[in-house]
Amino acid sequence: MKRFLTIILTLMMIISIPATIFAAENTKDTFVLEKDELVNHDLFLGAGYIKIIGSVNGDVFAVGGDFENNGHINGDIILGAGNSIIGGKVDGDLRIGAGRVVIGGEIARNATVLSSDILLEKNSAINGNLNVLSGKATLNGFVGGDFRAGAENVLINGLVKGDVEVGSSTLTFGPDAKINGNLTYTSANEMLVPEGVVDGQVIRKEPAVDENFEENRKKAEEGIKVFHVVKRALSILSYLIVGTILTLIFTGFMRKTALTIQEKPLHSLGLGFVGLIVIPIAALLVMLTVIGIPIGIISLMIYGVLLYLAKLPVALWIGSKILKGETKPLLPMILGIFILMLVSFIPYLGNFVSFVAIVFGIGSYMINLRNVFQKPKDIEPLL
């Protein structure tokens, strides 16, 4: 166990080194690349507010609350943000997922946008294709290739040199709308397309209707039921395997965790409840700093493993209460797992029992892990 914890701590230190190096360059919640600044490599950014006015000879990978580009990117922009303004010039592709996207600059190649609202301003230009999945899409600028959109509302008031394919509830055209290729739209209603807007063909497609919907629905429900049964069976089997392995390898430690539940029930329950709430919150708070991102991620991973294994001490305690004459913990562990899994099938009660078992288990683990480096004590038999 000591060796295991040492390995975990070492890995956390190693993984956090790259983040530490980067954080030394930018430790604030705001990142600004000034107009006279030049970056001659790919740029990886994470901040609440990011603004680029200078030049980047490489790709930009960014995650932030707000992102704004008014500089020159000699590569791609790959972005996840709450709000984003893409001005300046991008010599590569734009791939973005954001709440609101405003494109006012020039994209030399293609743009792929996932957002709730996207706006191409009048003087904007996307020289390649534009692919959009959004709640609302407004195109006032220039698209040199094809425009494909899946959106609730689409407004075209600019020039599209290629074809337009749209699936939407409403499709409207402004006075400056022009499509050099074909227009294909999928809608239950016929859209009004002003004369002269489309140089090619106007094609309307009906939304696909499943004629065998009711039959397919019943088959899907039956399949879901079978899936849940198989999932439950595999879950029980996998938990039995994990419990067996841990009991055989860490026999003494697992017996101590079960004994702790018996001897310190209130302590285990209270500490487990605190750990259940505090650990993920602390990990997320640590991740708000660039340095703490790898530590926070590892903490959440360990927390997930802890949640998964939390029922094992309770299972061993229950099984030991029933099989009082059994000196080895393996059979009590298996019996306890079966009992907990069977109880989990009971509506409402099963969820409550599982929650309580998890809380007890986390508390028991925390108490015993705290004492891992202390002098081991004699293991008393479970009564």
- pLDDT tens, 52-68? 999 999 999 998 889 99
Percent of the chain at pLDDT exceeding 70: 88
In sequence order, the 6+-apart residues with CB closer than 8 A to the CB of 111 are 93, 94, 95, 96, 103, 126, 128, 129, 130, 131
Q: What is the pLDDT of residues 150-186, one digit of tens each?
A: 999 999 999 999 999 999 889 999 999 999 999 999 8
Q: Residue 363: is its pLDDT beyond 80? A: yes
Q: Distance between CA 325 and CA 303 in Å, rounded? A: 34
For range 359-367, the mean pLDDT: 90
- What DSSP assignment string belongs to 52-93? E-SEESS-EEEEEEEEEE-SEESS-EEEEEEEEEE-SEESS-
Q: What is the pLDDT of residues 183-197, one digit of tens each?
A: 999 887 888 899 999
Q: What is the structure's pLDDT at 28?
A: 52
Question: How many angstroms separate the first and last alpha carbons of the chain?
Answer: 26
| DSSP annotation of 296 | H
| Of the candidate ranges 67-76, 141-150, 209-218, 365-374, the one whose mean pLDDT is the lowest | 209-218
Residues for the chain: how many in total? 383
Alpha carbon 121 to its chain centroid, in Å, reads: 31
Confidence of residue 144 (pLDDT cuts 50, 70, 90): very high
Q: Residue 102: is its pLDDT beyond 90? A: yes
Q: Residue 301: is its pLDDT beyond 70? A: yes
Question: Could you tell me if 313 and 365 are in contact, meaning their C-beta atoms sit under 8 angstroms apart?
Answer: yes
Residue 300 CB neighbours (<10 A): 16
In sequence order, the 6+-apart residues with CB closer than 8 A to the CB of 348 are none
Q: Tell me the pLDDT of the chain averaged across its residues.
A: 84
Q: Distance between CA 200 and CA 190 in Å, rounded? A: 18
In sequence order, the 6+-apart residues with CB closer than 8 A to the CB of 89 are 71, 72, 73, 105, 106, 108
For range 73-90, the mean pLDDT: 94
Question: Could you tell me if 156 and 173 are in contact, meaning their C-beta atoms sit under 8 angstroms apart?
Answer: yes
For residue 215, what are the β-bridge partners?
A: none
Alpha carbon 159 to its chain centroid, in Å, reads: 36
Given the structure tokens 């994470």, which residue do they identify? 46
Q: Distance between CA 78 and CA 65 in Å, rounded? A: 14
